Amino acid sequence: MAATLDIPCFVINMAKELTRWHALQAQCPPELKFTRFDAVDGRCAAEHSVSQIQDLGQLTAPELGCLLSHIGVWQHVLQQDLPLAVVLEDDVMFGKNFAARLQGFLQRLPQNFELAYLGFNANAHVKFAIPGVGKVVVIVDGEHYDLNTEETACYRLYRAWGTCAYVISQQGAARLLDLVMNKTYPGYHHFDFTNGLGGLLNCAFPTSPIDMRIMSLMEQLQAYVAFPPICQPHPQLDSTITQRAWDA
């Protein structure tokens, strides 16, 4: 068993979704202490500082709630003067020996890191750089991936889908707040995952949702990824973001 990790861990969870919170508590590694962070209901966004965000784009109410919830965690990191924090969504599923692998991953992160993904969406693409090889694109085929691997490497991250689990530094929180709240986004952003292959994975997606905003900014951030990942969104739990902007 890994020693207790003295790092704040926040789980974004809506008040009406306490069943998810209790289910997550049941699988939480004992080496980590998790704090519930009250998620924003996008239908009640008027109660929050929405006007401070320069470009809301075409967000559905659930997407807006998710965006404001993550922004709230970043603001909390700055207000509490936390050097770093783990941020989790309430549908996360932990891999084998999560705490020990997290501790090893944190030790591999450079001191100037700003954002580090612990997991990402399956059935999607992830782009990162392998030393001595260069940038690679991995296509994760299927609803989930094997979380039982013992070793996890740390790579410079350029693209990944979802925001189920990440570590953020104080500097990263400040930079993301500035970039996400003050940047004007085009309606669509072209993500070229391949730099070749006939543009096979050169796709355009709306940049309004939180994961798209972060992904469009990764080139500007000191972003890293745990690979193989040490957690993922639970494949049997529906996201509380039930409608994406491109489905509306």
Query: What pLDDT does 206 receive?
Result: 47
Query: What pLDDT does 242 receive?
Result: 43
Q: What is the residue whose two structure tokens read 């993922």?
A: 232
Query: What pLDDT does 198 receive?
Result: 41
Residue type, 169: S
The H-assigned helical ranges of the chain are 18-27, 61-79, 98-108, 170-182, 210-217
CB atoms within 10 A of CB 113: 21
Measured distance CA(222)–CA(168) in Å, rounded: 10
Query: What pLDDT does 78 receive?
Result: 96
Contacts of 16 (CB under 8 A, 6+ apart): 41
Residue 174: name the closest of 185, 163, 182 by CA.
182
Measured distance CA(185)–CA(168) in Å, rounded: 22
Question: Which residues lie across from 84 on neighbouring strands?
Answer: 169
Strands 223-227 and 115-117, by their bridges, are parallel
Contact 216, 87 (CB under 8 A): no
Q: What is the residue whose two structure tokens read 């990440």?
A: 166
* Per-position pLDDT tens, the chain of length 248: 455 688 999 999 998 888 899 989 888 888 888 999 999 887 776 555 555 665 566 677 788 888 889 999 999 999 999 999 999 999 999 998 999 999 999 999 999 999 999 999 887 789 999 999 999 988 877 666 777 777 889 999 999 989 999 999 999 999 999 888 776 655 555 545 444 444 444 444 445 688 888 988 898 999 999 999 999 988 766 655 444 433 33
Query: What pLDDT does 200 receive?
Result: 42
- For the chain, list the domains and their CATH numbers: 9-235 (3.90.550)
In what side-by-side order are the strands of the sheet with 223-227? 34-38, 9-13, 84-89, 165-169, 115-117, 223-227, 153-159, 124-130, 134-140
Is 17 strand, coil or helix?
helix
Query: What pLDDT does 5 receive?
Result: 82
Give the orientation angle of helix 210-217 with respect to helix 61-79, to 10 degrees: 60
